[in-house]
Chain A
Amino acid sequence: MEQGRITWPQLGMLMYLMVGATSVLIVPSVTAKYAHQDLWMTPFIGSVVGFVAIYMALRLYRYYPNQSIIQYGEHLLGKWIGGAANLVWLFFLWQNTGVILREYGEFIVGSVLLRTPQSVVSICLIFVCALAIRGGIEVLGKFALLITPLFLGFVIFIPLLLTPEMDVLQITPVLENGWKPVLKGSILPMEWFMEYVLVSFMLPYATGQQSPWRWLSLPIILMLGTMVLLNLTCLFVFGDLTSMYTFSVFNAAKYISLGNIIEHIEAIVMVLWIMGGFVQISSWYYILVIGTAQSFHIRDYRPLVFPIGILIVAMSLWIVNDLSEMTKLFATSGAVFAAVVQICYPALLLLIAWWKHKTGETKYRERPDSPSAT
């Protein structure tokens, strides 16, 4: 299977980009629709879900080291139910990767390359990601380590450069309509923070003496900070109009103007964003490939990379017809689907594992010579 190893800091950076790169693409706009000027509070509520997710992943990892959720799912639920659950997981991964690719495709085609067909952009992005994945998880980890400073740089610079345009009073009145709109607006951030449970696929490949908790909480805190910062930026710049634009942060970046020389640098913003997006798409793609290989007990995942890439491109164009449908999907049934797969199912597995552990069944140890050992 995968012989490479990544360190905990690399894993942390990878998780941050994997979940956080799209979290500031369309999320501010949708949260603004529900929570209005209280949208900066929503990531805090969402981050609780994030901590729950990594807690579950780490506990299950402690019971089943060197295995991912697909593998111990099969162990805990048996061959047929586990297999069915894995298929649902694979479908979820496939669908979500397609959605992410679609988000970036819409972003690029809608803002910059207006006359390029979206399929071209999608195919190019997936091709680049496929080549990166074939190098193994080490390439992903090192790349994440290189790109995260760039991404964080742009996260800090956009608010910094926009300070002339900001109006801090937009944040008032605080909690105008009470907590209910805030909770309703938190659905989307929660949906994003849930994705941290996917770290269970990467945990078998992490080595090093550093503390897992520290380096997995760091991305959650970073992402929390990113979301709050950029949500506040959009709020201060646009006020109530935040919900009007689909890509709020990008539109805010259009207003950066420094001395009439540095203007309209949104293309650079977009490039840095796409770099983060590249890591994100590659990680999801990688998890989908590894998940498929593990479900069907295939040793070498490399021949599977390109066909799955084509499937992802197809899914990205198939799943929804346009952005408004995608937003609706996020806000309604998509959220429930994501919660069931990412929170309820691991919680169920954790419960069963705890019960088995408690009743003293020692058969959960993986035999070293069985074919699904990594």
Chain B
Amino acid sequence: MTYPFFVAMCILLLLNGLFEWKRRRKTPIRELRAFFVLSALGWIVILYMAIFYKGPTPRDLIDFIFMPVYLWLNG
């Protein structure tokens, strides 16, 4: 994926973080932790997309697991 996309998504993540930062006193710790983990996961995914854009995708994962099953069902 192209770099403008990466930058745009980072900005969105930051905006989201700001929005939750303002409300951090009101939300319980579990939700804050989940929010942080999910944001981090999102950031890792888009980083991966920016760097390894020709690398394996989730589709490859699905193919790897299920394509043999499909071929077995077919043949």
Contact = CB atoms under 8 A, between A and B. Distances in A.
Interface size class of A (residues with CB under 8 A): 35 or more
B31 A304 contact: yes
Majority DSSP secondary structure for residues of B touching A: helix
Given A306-B16, A307-B42, A314-B49, A298 B58 contact: no
Nearest to A95: B58
B58 A319 contact: yes
A139 to B, nearest CB: 20
Interface stretch (A78-86, A229-237, A326-334): A326-334
A95 B28 contact: no
B5 to A, nearest CB: 5
Contact of B70 (A299, A313, A335): A335
A307 B28 CA distance: 17
Contact of B49 (A297, A298, A317): A317
A303 B31 contact: yes
B13 A310 contact: yes
Contacts, number: 103
Interface size class of B (residues with CB under 8 A): 35 or more
Contact of B57 (A303, A308, A320): A320
Given A123-B12, A337-B65, A318 B57 contact: yes
B51 interface: no
B5 A333 contact: no
Interface centre among A292, A299, A329, A337 (most CB of B within 10 A): A337
A310 B70 contact: no
B13 A320 contact: no
Interface string A288-309: 0000110011111001101110
Interface of A: 91, 95, 117, 119, 123, 292-293, 296-300, 303-304, 306-308, 310-311, 313-315, 317-321, 325, 329, 332-337, 340
6 contacts: A308-B38, A311-B38, A318-B57, A333-B67, A335-B70, A336-B66
